[in-house]
Amino acid sequence: MVSLLRTIRSMRRVGLREWWRQMQYIGDAKSGRYVGADQFGNRYYENLNPEEEVPGRHRWVDYSQHYYNATQVPPEWHSWLQHIRKDPPAEDPIVQQVTPSWKAPWIENLTGTRGAYKPYNTVVPKIQAWEPKVTSRGA
């Protein structure tokens, strides 16, 4: 549970509108340093103040879409969020210099959307469905 003092402090830092939006989407009042954004428009933040944040929860992502999932976070940002990398991709010289030219842009998982992969079968089925044949009655 969030303490009242921390909630009021966060509300003053980010403003009433942003505070309300955070409470609706992530259920927590957070304020921190803006670190960067990715190609999806997701914003990444960090708060290193030890008395405000629970240890291990001082890096977070603010998704640009209302219906979000973890596949909308590119691998570079995911490694920063999970503390695999110390510096965020926007500030890390290694990530900026070593990006290969053949690397395709990150695409989120589209399962359950219109863009989902739908396989089709090109093999003739082994079992044919029975179709009744109607014959005329001889009168």
Domain-wise residue ranges, the chain: 1-31, 32-95
Least confident of 27-36, 47-56, 102-111: 47-56
Please compute the mean of the pLDDT values over residues 102-107 and round it to a whole number.
Answer: 74
Q: What is the pLDDT of residue 56?
A: 67
With 0-12 CB in 10 A as exposed, 13-18 as middle and 19+ as buried, what is 47?
middle
Tokens of 53: 């944040």
Looking at residue 1, its pLDDT comes to 47
- Indicate whether 12 pLDDT > 70: yes
Q: pLDDT per residue over 54-73, tens digit each?
A: 676 788 888 888 777 888 89
Q: What is the pTM of this model?
A: 0.69
Element holding 37 (H helix, E strand): strand 33-37
- How far, CA to CA in Å, does 14 sit from each of 34, 35, 62, 89? 12, 15, 13, 24
- For residue 62, what are the β-bridge partners? 43
